[in-house]
Chains A and B, each alone.
Chain A
Amino acid sequence: MIDTQSKNSIIQIFHVYKKYGGKNALTDVTLDIPKNDSLLISGPSGAGKTTLLKLLYLDEKVSAGQILVDGMNLARISSKRIPFLRRKLGIIFQDYKLIPTKTVFDNVAIVLEAMGKQRRLIQKKVRSVLRTVGMEERIDSFPPILSGGEQQRVAVARAVVGDPIIILADEPTGSLDSDSANIIIELLKKFHTRGTTLVIATHDKELLNKIGGRIVHLKQGCVQPSA
């Protein structure tokens, strides 16, 4: 039961099932992720990695079981509280999910605007984060003219600008060349050392080796016993 929550855990997943139609995408998944941990979810395509992340940021709801994120029970959360949950998370998508009609600055600033932060603070913070990811010079560019690596760096900036306690990354290097992938890996490591919990879904062995941390292997929606 969920009252056994460890004081040190930031994410707890209890016997979670997710069904699409009649087919199980996840079967009896139970995981405990401590604060400041770095968890890598590996597995082949269709193993349920993206589904598991979607359950964590409530893009999907569990079919059975319970998930706790920083004390919030996702099975019982009201739709009004969902934005507050997502503000605790920094999400990085494989397809970047940048708004093509907004500049790099606006794409990153939107997180702080949604939080109701002051314009002056937004200016300062966004510039600082873009400097960290090496994108300050492209601040007024629009995403379609950026390379894949640059777009993913903007996506990383957007994920961390709100000082999230957890970063969820779905195949963050999946569509990048090795140089761009290395930059992203270094950035993720940098934010992890600052105290952010990392949950990364990937089938990229290089990423698994370079980033370090606990590895959970998923196969056909089930957590495989560690070797």
Chain B
Amino acid sequence: MILHYKRAIQDILDHKFLNAVTIITIAISILIVSAFALFFVNTSDIISSWQKDIRIMAYLRPDIPRADIGALKFKIQDFDAVKNVKFISKEEGLQMLKDQMKRQPSLFVDLKENPLPDAFEIRMIPTSQIQEKIEGLTTSLEALPEINDVEYAHKWLARFTNIFNLFKLTGFALGGLFSVAAVFIVANTIRLVLYTRREEVEIMRLVGAADSFIKAPFYIEGIIQGALGGTIGLAALFVTFLIVSSNVQQSFAPDLFTVRFLSIKVYGALIFCSTCVGWLGCYLSLKHFLKP
């Protein structure tokens, strides 16, 4: 085995330019794929943080007597996925509005009648905050005769999630394409090395070397190219991340979310994938070259 490693390293050193091109190609592919992964990881985090605290407002019809409020509250409380229900009278609502708009008191000066309806503020159980459950609950609320209108601020989140998923799919497709391109580049590099060494390979076969003996150093070479390319790509991404993340964090609200790098698990998976790219390129090339 040591002999195969020595031969592989010697080959890399003998064909520095070819190997450098391959390693850089793999590094660029991994950089692009991992940049997408990083974007997805952080965007998913943001979406999750937004989804954590969904508040649904159910506005009552103006003719509902206060005496019925208690029974209605219990009815809503019994709905699936409801964590708690808070009644906000129209007077409380107006006061909250005034508090929020302290700088524009003139807006309320000429207000003769309270225009706000009574309302229920409904919070959901965190584990139930998936789009289907939210929509199910709003439909149930809208079906109640006492409810005039239902609103929740995260309606746009559903659309955003759909766009995000589409973007994710594009990312996977692009990642796949880059990986395929990298495989072919590795295959061609190994093929070029094999062509420069075809006489040697032929002689080795004639003196009794088995194909596995001839192939082993090339596979090691492919694996080294893949692993090295992947590591360089991820290192480049990490440096870029360090530079960019602090600016992003400061530009956006720092309390809203934290930008984070890929986990060790994802990091490992990407290195594994790049190693597989190296191996596969080698496999394809050797399959054609060493036909019996």
Contacts and interface: CB of A to CB of B under 8 A. Distances in A.
A121 to B, nearest CB: 13
Interface in A95-118: 97-99, 101-102, 110-111, 113-115
Interface stretch (B107-115, B162-170, B197-205): B197-205
A17 interface: no
B209 A83 contact: yes
A166 interface: no
A9 B126 CA distance: 86
A162 B209 CA distance: 12
B67 interface: no
A214 interface: no
Interface residues of A, number: 24
Contact of B204 (A59, A80, A91, A114): A114
B105 interface: no
Nearest to A111: B207
B208 interface: yes
Given A79-B292, A113-B3, A87 B206 contact: no
A115 B3 CA distance: 13
Interface in B212-263: 213
A83 B210 CA distance: 5
B204 to A, nearest CB: 6
Contacts of A80: 210
B208 A101 contact: no
A114 B213 contact: yes
A86 interface: yes
B208 A111 contact: yes
Contact of B206 (A57, A84, A115, A162): A57
B37 to A, nearest CB: 42
Nearest to B14: A101
Contacts of B210: 80, 83, 114
Interface of B: 3, 14, 199-200, 203-211, 213, 292
Given A110-B204, A111-B207, A114-B207, 16 more contacts: A59-B206, A82-B292, A83-B205, A83-B210, A83-B211, A86-B206, A87-B208, A89-B208, A97-B203, A102-B200, A110-B203, A110-B207, A113-B209, A113-B213, A162-B207, A162-B208
21 contacts: A80-B210, A83-B209, A83-B211, A83-B213, A84-B208, A86-B207, A87-B208, A98-B203, A99-B200, A99-B203, A101-B200, A102-B200, A110-B204, A111-B208, A114-B204, A114-B207, A114-B208, A114-B209, A119-B3, A158-B207, A162-B207
Interface of A: 57, 59, 79-80, 82-84, 86-87, 89, 91, 97-99, 101-102, 110-111, 113-115, 119, 158, 162
- Which 10 pairs of residues, A with B, have the shortest CB-CB distance? A114-B209, A79-B292, A86-B208, A87-B208, A83-B210, A99-B200, A83-B208, A111-B207, A97-B203, A114-B213
